[in-house]
Structure 1
Amino acid sequence: MEDRAPVPSPHAAKDVTEHVGYRLKRTSAALRSAMDKALREHDLTVPQYSCLELLDEQPGLSNADLARGTFVTRQSANVVLRGLKDAGLITRPATTDHGRALPVHLTPAGQERLHAARSVVYAIEERMIKSIPARRLTALLADLDTMAAALDE
């Protein structure tokens, strides 16, 4: 077996649990777990809830837009949208007058379900951000955006 030179760490860390990527993933997993549990009470998954939020802010988004906005593939977004449509929470035409994109809209039942679910999701986010000093939140959000942009290049 050939000797390999050690790969230098991007910053001082005694083990993998001190790496930024590990901490981000741990936080993401904790948030997802809390949201999964809370949204079960509202008969929603995290991707379904995310779609409802996006559609509330931007009615008429397409499957591709929703896939990008919820960080899933187009195929997965189709499954999510099918579930929401079967539950009567969204409308989506079978055809469109122009282009290929089928605009998606919330139904009144979708608005109601979103409103109820939003309160539990926002409570989770509030619990999470209360754990850090309020004066650091703006900088944290900016740093997270900067890190994401560095990887998008």
Structure 2
Amino acid sequence: MSQDGAGVDLETSLGYLLKEASSALRVAMEEVLRPLGMNITHYSCLELLAQRPGLSNSELARGAFVTRQTMNVLLQALERDGSVTRPTEAPVGKALPTRLTPRGRRSLEKASAAVRSVEVRMLTGLTEADRATAFRILRSMIHSLREGDT
């Protein structure tokens, strides 16, 4: 509560500070991805496919924090531009496994370098110990919040 009891004091709210950091990171990432013809969802999709080839639309949507509909529109565009490939029919069930093409891998390499530059900028001024502590604390927060989901 704020000093007057009317709600959260944004100056001391860790949740608000995390949201502000997330927003600043998103803006910085969008700025470096835009010249590459990408946005964060586009980049996330390519990165997920590089790490786990064959993911379905639903799995990609969950991993990129977007709706299945949004991911489906993106996948159709990525398929048209030759960055990904999907079979015309599902090998099993209804899911169409998606894979990166060589063109998609090249796009991802450029985007990954751009995103890494943002992360380096974000961590400037932190020691290696500070970074390790930040990772540990953030992972702990995520774990604590997700425990309530089960």
Query: What residue ranges of structure 2 are gaps of 5+ in the alignment?
Result: none
- 1:39 corresponds in structure 2 to 33
- State the alpha-carbon separation in 1 of the partners of residues 67 and 117 from structure 2: 28
Q: 1:134 Cα deviation (Å)? A: 1.6
Mapped pair 1:60 → 2:54:
yes
Q: 1:140 Cα deviation (Å)? A: 1.0
1:53-83 Cα distance to aligned partner (Å, 9 max, x none): 1111111011111111111121221122122
Q: 1:131 Cα deviation (Å)? A: 3.0
Match of 2:109 among 105, 115, 118: 115
1:62-119 Cα distance to aligned partner (Å, 9 max, x none): 1111111111121221122122212211111221121111100001110111111111
- 1:140 corresponds in structure 2 to 134
Q: TM-score, normalised by structure 1?
A: 0.86
RMSD: 1.8
Amino acid at match of 2:70: S
Amino acid at match of 1:95: E
**What is the percentage of aligned positions where both structures have the same residue?**
41
- 2:88 corresponds in structure 1 to 94
CA spacing shift, 1:8–1:44, aligned 2, 3 Å: closer
Q: TM-score, normalised by structure 2?
A: 0.88
Pick the structure with greater CA Rg.
1
